[in-house]
Amino acid sequence: MAEMKTGLAQFTNVVEKIADNKYLLGDRLVEIGVSGPRLESTLSAIAMAQGELGHARLLYSWALDLSGFSGKKPEIESQTGKAFQFIEQVDDWVSLIAALYTVNASVDIVLNAVLKAENTDIVSRIQKLIREQKEHMMYTEGWIRQLREDSKPVQQKLQQYLDAYTLEAAEWLESLDADKTLQEGGYLSNDSALAEQLSQRLQKTAVLN
Amino acid sequence: MNNHEASRVVYDVFTRIKRGDDLFHVGSVEAESEQLAKVYASFTYDEEKWVEMVVVNRDQIKWVRKPEGLFEKEGA
């Protein structure tokens, strides 16, 4: 049990950060997604918003459990302040897709590293989440492809957003790589190299066409 | 995003509620790629917990028999 305590606070922060990102992304998906370029893309954006907000709710509840909270859990009315700053700047379809991609890719990388650590209590909490997130990833990659085939200004705008957003995500992943308590506590697999994985995904995305 | 109009394709969506049930047509989606068609179908037709869902590019459906237009003679 003592081993589990190592890195627990850091892991709780990770769970809260993912929850915050999903909470804000859900909000942006409704706000911007509702005026998506196609009926199907709008319907999917709203469905994904429900998914993201549902994930956020589960993760906030889990973070409270991890921090030893007992009793009736409070209603979540705002994020805890750990979300990526770029999500709040999302104000059009292209920035929404870039933010969706960045958040989904980085969260996916972290959750898979957590899954690889094979902590049974944690694995049961995130397996469904990872599965549901795959569809979000497919949607986002599909739209990245569309925007890369669009007019030159749209392509450039997308690239500018991706460059800026992934920088912030990479900083977060680097900080997790550097924090060895997460690995020592059995919360992250030892060989994860999270920032490197994001860089590889981005290279793959750069040739998505 | 106008240059996508030409590349948009209609995909028919077929689903099966339970194992052993018939696969039936529930609707269609328009998408720019097969990947997006799958996601759109999954998010749009989520009223049941389908055991199976399939999207078929409408261009790939080969007609054996097609109904004639009701008002064909009038040129409708």
Q: Which helix (H) or strand (E) holds B16?
A: strand B9-16
Q: What is the predicted pLDDT for the residue at A113?
A: 93
**Which tens digits make up the pLDDT trace of A87-118?**
999 999 999 999 999 999 999 999 999 999 88
A contact test, residue of B40, B47, B55 with most A CBs within 10 A: B40
Please give the residue range of the domain that contains residue B49: 2-74
A36 → chain B, closest CA residue: B1
Q: Which of A38, A132, A151 to mutate to test the interface with B (most CBs of B within 10 A)?
A: A38
Task: Please report which confidence band the pLDDT of residue A125 belongs to, taking 50, 70 and 90 as the band edges.
Answer: confident
Burial of B20 per CB tally in 10 Å (0-12, 13-18, 19+) = exposed
Given an 8 Å threshold on Cβ–Cβ distance, is B33 in contact with A41?
no
Q: What is the average per-residue pLDDT within B18-33? A: 94
Min Cα–Cα distance to chain A from B20, Å = 25
Q: Nearest to residue A48, comparing CAs of A131, A130, A139? A: A139
Query: Which pLDDT belongs to residue A3?
Result: 47
Contact across the interface for B44 and A38, Cβ inside 8 Å: no
Q: How many domains does chain B have?
A: 1
- Please tell me the predicted confidence (pLDDT) of residue A2: 44
Q: The tokens of A129 are what?
A: 């989440």
Nearest-angstrom CA–CA distance, A188 and A199: 19
pLDDT tops 50 at residue B64: yes
Q: Which of A85, A62, A52 is nearest to A16 (CA)?
A: A62
- pLDDT above 90 coverage of chain A, percent: 61
Q: Cα separation of B41 and A200, whole Å?
A: 30
Question: The domain that contains B57 carries what CATH number?
Answer: 3.10.20.520
Six-digit token pair at B65?
């028999």
Structural domains of chain A in order of their starting residue, each with its CATH number: 2-70+81-206 (1.20.1260.10)
What was the pLDDT predicted at A1? 44
Give the C-alpha separation, A200 to A145, whole Å.
17
pLDDT tens for each residue of A3-60: 457 888 999 999 999 999 999 999 999 999 988 888 998 999 999 999 999 999 999 9
